[in-house]
Amino acid sequence: MLITAEELASIKRQAVAEYPNECCGVILVRGTERRHMPCRNVQDQMHARDPMTFPRTARNAYYMDPLDALRLNRLVDEGFAFAVIYHSHPNAGAYFSETDRAQALIKGELAYPGATYLVVSVVGREVRALAAYQWNADRRVFERADDGDLDAKEPSASRRLLAAAERRIPGGVNSPVRAFRSVGGEPRFVARAEGARLWDEDGRAYIDFVGSWGPLVLGHAPRAVVDAVTTAAQRGTSYGAPTAAEGELAARIAAAYPSMEMVRLVSSGTEAAMSAIRVARGATGRDLLVKFDGCYHGHADSLLVKAGSGGATFGIPDSRGVPPALAALTLTLPFNDVGAVRDLFAARGSDIAALIVEPVAGNMGVVPPAPNFLAALREITTQHGALLIFDEVITGFRVAYGGAQELYGVRPDLTCLGKIIGGGLPVGAYGGGRDVMDQVAPLGAVYQAGTLSGNPLAVAAGLATLKALEDRKAYARLDALGAQLQRGLRDAADKAGLPLTVNRVGSMLTGFFCAGPVRDYAEAKTADTARYARFYHGMLDRGVYLAPSQFEAAFVSLAHTDDDLEHAARAAANAIGAAV
């Protein structure tokens, strides 16, 4: 037994009572005797008295009342031992963070041997998740100690699946944002999806506005795509050899994107961006890359960087495992700041191989390009002999059939596309003018290869998807649905009297919980993430599935109906009111 039902109920009451502050306490044992001791968090008082010594940071979110520390010491002197040490994560997930780990260890050894660490996720004065962890001295890691069954009154298949997954998958998920850590609670494990809906393992249905992060423009499991994949699978799942279908897909892409005279299929958007950058460096003979704060282009080492102390400084690693020397080859600038781009190219233009940009930012939330921003990037890169790369992994075939470059009338040198050209299956592509793409092996000296490139299942799904979109009539419908969702969010915020800035381009949008405007990453970060977390769970409780992060996009699909959008608007009106 890790914890009794009575102890758990008391801990949950304490966590809710002390929200939005962090709570803490212990359960001590002496023989068969158990004693629960909640501890007071006096961090607010200490910060008010001495903000320098007691800053408001994750590591300093909790400061135990010294009187409670004395009481604990007396109980230990009386023979009690620590059985459970618990704390809450307000507006965050129930996980054992690096900060938690650092505070549980003293010089690399567990401060309280044998103790179980319980983490409670609280959002909007409601406990959303629980997880217990114990120290494995042999492996020197904290491991999940429960089976997702701590709260017997609230059984959940997703909770049990997450606990099991954490034992074999880092964080229990295969992509970090899925872990719900920025909104609290725990992820819903999906059992199936169809049209505009998905169902979790507990049988609950949700109207889905994530759509596998954008590519499912036709909705889940459209008949044409399912039939195409089924037929292709019957002929074999992978060949590692050329097929007629991949040539057809490349031709359709080139027809939609005149800038992509030649196309190379790959297996992901990350691979597409990584390869396009390599081609740009090979074609120009230069090393430096320019990207924008808040724009995400996959997890290749040279792209996981953040800005230094000034706009023109070399990047520094934004992830462990990225060598500083490699990160130094990437320069970062504020999105939508043409002046900063001109200044950087004036200083370093002869060393810059390429500038890569999401023409409509989607990974800091949706941020449209300012008027003439993309045209200015085209002008500046051309002037300095650098290549312009549009990362259209999200916007390609989404904001228009010809992507953002069609929508804004700007032609890049290289373009990256993602899962939408595979109907949501793992695929990507990069391409550009013949003079640039002739650099790619086997024609040129820029090497890039992949066994699953042009996979027949993904290509079949992609062809079926593009055929459904090629008459372009679908985009008026997508835009109307996007506008309807935007109005629903805007009306709900106005009714509640809350600041909300809704940025939308076609069928992709983000509602930022701030007064706005939101034109770059710095302004996006002013959004109230705690309020978004409360809103997110309010929507989830009402059957609406949004991205579990303030800094992501919502997507509508052709499978969504007017009734779906009206349901979402009603849900938003209630959820935003509860998020105050």
Choose, from 146, 337, 391, 564, the residue flagged as catalytic: 391
- Alpha carbon distance 358, 126 (integer Å): 37
No. of H helices and E strands in the chain? 18, 24
Q: Where are the alpha helices (DSSP H) in 216-363?
A: 223-234, 244-256, 269-284, 324-327, 338-348
Residue 475 known to be catalytic: no
Asked if residues 420 and 555 have their Cβ atoms less than 8 Å apart, the reply is no
Report the candidate in 487, 523, 480, 522 with the shortest Cα–Cα distance to residue 502. 487
Structure tokens at 536: 């997110």
Asked if residues 289 and 352 have their Cβ atoms less than 8 Å apart, the reply is yes
Whether the link from the prior residue into 517 is cis, omega within 30° of 0, is: yes
Asked if residues 95 and 176 have their Cβ atoms less than 8 Å apart, the reply is no
Q: Calculate the alpha carbon distances from 76 to 80, 115, 223 in Å.
A: 5, 14, 65
- Alpha carbon distance 429, 272 (integer Å): 5
Question: What is the secondary structure of 362-407 as a DSSP string?
Answer: -BTB-BPPPTTHHHHHHHHHHHHTPEEEEE-TTTBTTTBTTHHHHH
Which residues is 292 bridged to in the sheet?
333
CB-based burial, 105-130: b 16+ in 10 Å, e otherwise: eeeeebebeebbbbbbbbbbebbbbb
Which residues is 89 bridged to in the sheet?
121
Structure tokens at 24: 């803490």
Residue 491 known to be catalytic: no
At residue 497, the 3 state secondary structure works out as coil
Structure tokens at 544: 């609406």
Residue 495 known to be catalytic: no
Q: Calculate the alpha carbon distances from 127 to 5, 13, 90 in Å.
A: 15, 9, 9
Question: What is the secondary structure of 17-64 as a DSSP string?
Answer: HHTTS--EEEEEEETTEEEEEEE-B-HHHHHHH-TTTS-SSGGGS--B
Choose, from 206, 257, 296, 545, the residue flagged as catalytic: 296
Choose, from 133, 146, 401, 419, the residue flagged as catalytic: 419
Report the candidate in 46, 425, 506, 18 with the shortest Cα–Cα distance to residue 220. 425
- Alpha carbon distance 367, 507 (integer Å): 13
At residue 323, the 3 state secondary structure works out as coil
Catalytic positions, please? 296, 391, 419
